[in-house]
Structure 1
Amino acid sequence: MLADIFLAEPLNNLWVGKDPFVAVEALDGPVYRQKEGRVVFRVELDGAAYFVKIHRGIGWREIFKNLLSFRLPVLGARQELLAIRCLEQAGIPTLKPVGYGRRGLNPARQHSFLITEELAPTISLEDYCQDWERTPPPLPLKRALIDRVADTLRGMHGAGLNHRDCYLCHFLLHTDCPPAPDNLRLSVIDLHRSQVRSRVPLRWRDKDLAGLYFSALHIGLTRNDKLRFLKRYFRQPLRDILIREASLLSWLERKAARLLERYRRKYAPGVQT
């Protein structure tokens, strides 16, 4: 049973008279991620590049597993589409959807898809900043990027959206022009786990801040860099932030350390850094 669908150009022309769900399942391209009933791959259609995300249902077992672990399961593509619309309304650059569909009433077997334009040329901030510790960037550029990330995250939270995977790898820096302090374009991606409300609870705001801090632990940020981010994000005098948010700042250090330890156990067991 078809619940919701939209197609923009050129999909509307390419798939006229076709079942969009059959058409999207017939697409093929390099797979970037495949996990828990969701596949993400890249395709080229009519001379343009797109990313396709298909959700085929995660099953009741996975739903209950998430709920018992106090995690909200991702049931389909609608969650990401709502997040994109939220960021668009807030004026925060993000993905541009050109196709979406959702059918099925059973949440464990819901079939949905989301097709977005490829953002290119871009580089993730994780890759762009990975050599900063050994080769620091020009100070004006570094400060401008810190400001832009802080402004973006503040804008997201102000719009009622928390990311849930708030890492540097999910901020894309556009490189069609060489990045410069007065010429920086950042887009937020990978929003399938995001939550949209009228107001972001402090718990989820803090989780986003912790994830971002964890992902920036090894890019050579100084104490002044961190203080600059805090001042830009909270828009308060630094002295007031250090007093009012003392418990948060202490928690961020502990949470980032736990995330780092979890990462090491999963991806680099036995490696000491």
Structure 2
Amino acid sequence: MVIRTPPTDRGQLHQSDVRSPLTWPHGHVCFDEGRLWVHPDYVETFQQRGWTTLEAVMQAEDVTVVRRVGQRDNTRLTLARASDGKVVRAYMKRHVSRCFGDWLFGIVSGRGWSPPGIAEAESVAAARRAGVATMTTIAAGCEINERPWQAASFFVSEEIDGGVPADDFWRAEFPSDAGGDNEHDPRRDAVIEALARSARRLHGAGMFHRDFYWCHFFVRQHPHEPGKFAAHLIDLQRIVRRPLLAARWRLKDLAQFVYSIPEGALSNDERRRWFEYYRDIDRWSWSHRLEWAAIRVRAWFYRVKERL
């Protein structure tokens, strides 16, 4: 077992949670000749479980399978965190998919490519550098072989403490339809702003999610300041960074967000206010009006496609 420490990242520290390194795999402990990287807080519990090789993690059965999607399984488990002695709920994704097309596109485009588990760890670090609230990485790893597109991989993260999926949070906190009395609740506007600012930071850093739905934001109320909220973005394994057609990916993300707004949740004024927070504007220019129209049209196409 060795600890490898890549060069220190030069980006500014935006996140208050300094336990999560801002470059991958900076500060993580290396096992299995580079196939497995673990946060120092969880080295002991991984060793106790016998998870010191990639194969052991990929074949582990002492986890709860939440769902299987194609050749990926999403699991839930609990792990002891050494820094404070807490038992933490965690989530692990294990991928065994074959990604030749994605690999080839990454190589040809010059953007490079990583197996999904490693890609998510890299994206979490990049998102944190941009000041986007997201998950805390526990561990990640992948096979090392001559055919990287066939490499099995995994990613483990801490549960977002106190976080609730945005759509579930909204239904629970604001059960009345938009346009009712609770539309004037300042907490609604605070949540809308938190969601918009998260999107603004992500896109401002040249990163695009590709699955930018409400359910991929976990809303958490500030523990000491009632009425203040944070929106944590999850499922980052498909993020593209600084693509050539950035405007296309931005439109796709924003349209997915609007499309996934729970039915009846936001009034038209609130939707427009979300866009104003995203663009950080008080007045709308013609370019803003055109962009907003394009977002709504793309979201409408998603709804039509869903019904077909």
Could you say whether these structures have the same fold, taking a TM-score greater than 0.5 normalized by the shorter chain as the test?
A: yes
Do the aligned residues in 1 keep the contact of 2:92 with 2:157 (CA within 8 Å)? yes
Mapped partners of 2:290, 2:60: distance in 1? 52
**What residue is the counterpart of 1:244 in the other structure?**
287
**What residue is the counterpart of 2:116 in the other structure?**
76
User: SS in structure 1 opposite 2:219?
Assistant: strand
**What residue is the counterpart of 1:36 in the other structure?**
70
Query: Unaligned regions of 5+ residues in structure 1, if any?
Result: 68-72, 266-273
The structure 1 residue matched to 2:91, chosen from 51, 58, 82, is 51
Letter paired with 1:117: E
1:26 aligns with 2:60: yes
Mapped partners of 1:82, 1:200: distance in 2? 21
User: SS in structure 1 opposite 2:164?
Assistant: strand
**What residue is the counterpart of 1:269 in the other structure?**
none
Mapped partners of 1:36, 1:163: distance in 2? 20
The structure 2 residue matched to 1:196, chosen from 238, 241, 245, is 241
What displacement does 1:180 show? 3.9
Do the aligned residues in 2 keep the contact of 1:54 with 1:113 (CA within 8 Å)? yes
The structure 2 residue matched to 1:125, chosen from 141, 166, 172, is 166
Query: Unaligned regions of 5+ residues in structure 2, if any?
Result: 1-31, 81-86, 106-112
Letter paired with 2:161: A
Mapped partners of 2:159, 2:231: distance in 1? 14
1:208 aligns with 2:241: no
Mapped partners of 2:236, 2:77: distance in 1? 20
What displacement does 1:205 show? 0.7
1:161 aligns with 2:207: yes
1:97 aligns with 2:137: yes
Deviation string for 1:31-72 (max 9, x for gaps)? 233223211110112332111111113365xx48x98xxxxx
Letter paired with 2:220: H
1:253 aligns with 2:293: no
User: SS in structure 1 opposite 2:160?
Assistant: coil
Do the aligned residues in 2 keep the contact of 1:29 with 1:43 (CA within 8 Å)? yes
Mapped partners of 2:232, 2:135: distance in 1? 7
Do the aligned residues in 2 keep the contact of 1:157 with 1:200 (CA within 8 Å)? no
Q: TM-score normalized by structure 1?
A: 0.81
Q: State the identity as a percent.
A: 22
Do the aligned residues in 1 keep the contact of 2:95 with 2:117 (CA within 8 Å)? yes
User: SS in structure 1 opposite 2:77?
Assistant: strand
Assess, with a 3 A threshold, how the Cα gap between structure 1 residues 92 and 153 changes in structure 2: closer, same or farther.
Answer: same
Work out which structure has the larger RCO, using CA pairs closer than 8 Å and 6 or more positions apart in sequence. Answer: 1
Letter paired with 1:149: L
Q: TM-score normalized by structure 2?
A: 0.73
User: SS in structure 2 opposite 1:44?
Assistant: strand
User: SS in structure 2 opposite 1:151?
Assistant: helix
Do the aligned residues in 1 keep the contact of 2:76 with 2:89 (CA within 8 Å)? yes
Assess, with a 3 A threshold, how the Cα gap between structure 1 residues 251 and 74 changes in structure 2: closer, same or farther.
Answer: farther
**What residue is the counterpart of 1:271 in the other structure?**
none
1:109 aligns with 2:143: no
Do the aligned residues in 2 keep the contact of 1:159 with 1:198 (CA within 8 Å)? no
User: SS in structure 2 opposite 1:256?
Assistant: helix
Deviation string for 1:135-174 (max 9, x for gaps)? 6455211111111111110001111211111111111012
Q: RMSD between aligned alpha carbons?
A: 3.0
Letter paired with 2:254: L
Letter paired with 2:45: L
**What residue is the counterpart of 2:128 in the other structure?**
88
The structure 2 residue matched to 1:6, chosen from 8, 22, 37, is 37
Mapped partners of 1:178, 1:218: distance in 2? 31
What displacement does 1:177 show? 4.0
